[in-house]
Structure 1
Amino acid sequence: MHKADSIYEDEPDVVYDFPRAYLKAMQEAVGDWIVYYEPAKAGPRGYFAVAKIAQVFPKPGVDGRFLALIEPESFLPFDVEVPRLVEGRPLEAALTEEDGSAKRGGAVQLAVRRLPEADFARIVNLGLPQDLEQMEATRYSPAGYEIAEGAQIFERPVLEPLTRRPYRDVAFRRKVREAYGYRCAMSGLMLRNGGGRPEVQAAHIRPVENQGSDSVRNGLALSGTLHWMFDRGLISVADDCETILVSHNKVPGDVVSRLLSPGGKLLKPEDPRNVPHPENLRWHRENVFGRVLTAEPAPWG
């Protein structure tokens, strides 16, 4: 269970902070997958992401509290947030009365619950459809996405999509572009091709190969040229998390004026839960910005 305004030091894609009461359950979860759930008092999201626990250890300097580290590259937000009830029935057996209605109190209030494999599979398949890649590939085609009458989607093991990079890239791209309203975070432009397909791309701030996550907070929606510049250290974001930095000795001034928004400020998602995490931006400034030279020809000619 996670609340966006939690008083604990939770970063869903990095670490989960919890009290001793849940230590045994969390230790048993090491090496296994978890689902994040938002309690009703905190907001409407229900089940909203999946991740894998790497290790559990005492929280330094705080008696009675512990930290669960999230395995790098495992966190993935759901494409569609899964409601707490479907047709009036809970998705978890532990939260369901014999007549199918939702229980009150008891297990409902537990911050950590054990989830049977069948419940886990059902929730994940609702939040991350197995055919997500096909859905995205045909999203802007004239015919749209349809399943032929009588056809059945091949049911793969539920963990297969979660561990496949192509699937995760599609899921990440869909969530990041949606978070920014399909606008480039640095130019402010929302460009679409003749078929209505958004031209904006999804960039990882901290690359996956450098233990960056697939959280929206580790992403920026950028045009193709600005994505290229960001990945090669020609542009970044200052420690105020909004001023766009430019490597002026490598990028001509007229290029800056053509590509970036006049104010030189980052466009942020409307939902504050999706804004870039300061630590991810800091990593990019310290490890990429101004340090990467490329022999590739610049896309602006």
Structure 2
Amino acid sequence: MAKGIFVHRADSIYDDAPEERYQFPKRYLNRAKLFEGDWIAYYEPRGGGGRMGYNAIAQVAEIITDPSAEGMYLALIEPGTYMPLETFVPYHSELGFLESDLQQPDGRLNGGLIQWAIRPISELDFNRILARGLAPENLLPRVDDPEAKRSVGFEDVPAPFEFDFDRDRIETITNRLVRNRIFRRIVLDAYDRRCAFTGLQLINGGGRAEVEAAHIKGVAEKGPDIITNGIALSGTVHWMFDRGLLSLSDEYEILVSRQINNRDQIENLIHPSRKAIVPANPNHRPHPKYLEWHRQRFKN
């Protein structure tokens, strides 16, 4: 096994769903097989509006022939392992290229290697990317967090910058506690800390947003911790959304269940447009497949 890089564009022509699968042609098969059972980092190239850097990690479960496309293969992602990095990591830093192999002896970029859609990466380089992609507070929990005190494996002292993580350390860092923090941050940032259903942006006296990051398809149902499966909601709205009393159409129209008591009060609570306020970036908006899943549990 070895760690690797998967290059993924937002406008990819391939049948990719980074949290579930990565499609590639046969010429990359032998290289991709090296990563079965191990971790990869997703890299955004310049094309398609990419930022030339790393935005997520995931564990490859297995490589299979794509049953729906001749000559194509799929890297299936282990369910629940895809995790966006909290901070986007540029491919080049003050220390040089984070992928050491991208740097030629004269210090210039290896223009051929960076074109590889699938490429290996050293354990040290992968750890450097992971360390830069996670805020320091996500390497160890806050000491005042009661949930963190119950978590297994968080008593370790943080390592220096290189973070020579072994497999157990990676799994500890990517556990549910850390994933919840990252999911909350990326969703609230996308929605400007504003409830999508009410339009309210409530900040408490300590500067913390009162809005919550809700999963559209729940974690218990294998819903991924990705921005397109998230939506920012106030506490009451979140409670009703999780119970199928509120939902969304594919056009982001707010659906109100007839089973709600005091329906008029809820109608007055939601945004006057009766449409959710979604991010300006279309890549950050709720995905139709997760909205459809939620509507199937909507109590009409």
Same fold (TM over 0.5): yes
1:141 aligned partner: none
1:15 aligned partner: 21
Contact 2:214/2:233 (<8 A) preserved: yes
DSSP-derived class of the 1:202 partner: strand
1:37 aligned partner: 43
Q: What RMSD in Å do the two structures reach over aligned CA positions?
A: 2.2
1:274 aligned partner: 284
Instruction: Give per-residue Cα distances to partners, 1:237-276, cap 9 Å, x unaligned.
Output: 12x2411111122242222223210111111112221111
1:182 aligned partner: 193
Higher mean displacement: 190-199 or 39-48 = 39-48
Superposed, 1:218-257 pairs within 5 Å as 218-238=229-249, 240-257=250-267
What is the TM-score of this pair, normalised by structure 1? 0.85
1:132 aligned partner: 138
Query: 78, 85, 109: which is aligned to 1:78?
Result: 85
Query: 49, 52, 62: which is aligned to 1:55?
Result: 62
Unpaired stretches in structure 2, ≥5 consecutive residues: 1-6, 145-156
Change in 2 beyond 3 A, CA 1:230/1:10? same
Unpaired stretches in structure 1, ≥5 consecutive residues: 139-152, 292-301
Q: Hey, what's the Cα distance between the residues in 1 that align with 2:23 and 2:263?
A: 46
Deviation at 1:101, TM superposition (A): 3.1
Residue type at the aligned position of 1:79: E
DSSP-derived class of the 1:23 partner: helix
Q: Hey, what's the Cα distance between the residues in 1 that align with 2:139 and 2:264?
A: 38
Query: 98, 109, 114: which is aligned to 1:91?
Result: 98
DSSP-derived class of the 2:228 partner: helix
Deviation at 1:131, TM superposition (A): 2.3
2:53 aligned partner: 46
Query: 158, 164, 183: which is aligned to 1:154?
Result: 158
DSSP-derived class of the 2:118 partner: coil
Residue type at the aligned position of 1:122: R
Q: Hey, what's the Cα distance between the residues in 2 that align with 1:274 and 1:10?
A: 16
Please say if 1:289 is aligned against 2:298.
yes
Change in 2 beyond 3 A, CA 1:134/1:33? closer
1:65 aligned partner: 72
Q: Hey, what's the Cα distance between the residues in 2 that align with 1:223 and 1:126?
A: 31
2:220 aligned partner: 209
Higher strand share: 2
Deviation at 1:103, TM superposition (A): 1.8
Contact 1:13/1:213 (<8 A) preserved: yes
Q: Hey, what's the Cα distance between the residues in 2 that align with 1:213 and 1:192?
A: 27
Superposed, 1:193-208 pairs within 5 Å as 193-208=204-219
Q: Hey, what's the Cα distance between the residues in 1 that align with 2:174 and 2:94?
A: 30
Q: Hey, what's the Cα distance between the residues in 1 that align with 2:139 and 2:93?
A: 24
Instruction: Give per-residue Cα distances to partners, 1:205-241, cap 9 Å, x unaligned.
Output: 1111211111111111100001101111111112x24
Aligned length: 275
Deviation at 1:68, TM superposition (A): 1.6
DSSP-derived class of the 1:226 partner: helix
1:295 aligned partner: none
Poorly superposed stretches of 4+, deviation over 3 Å: 133-138, 160-163
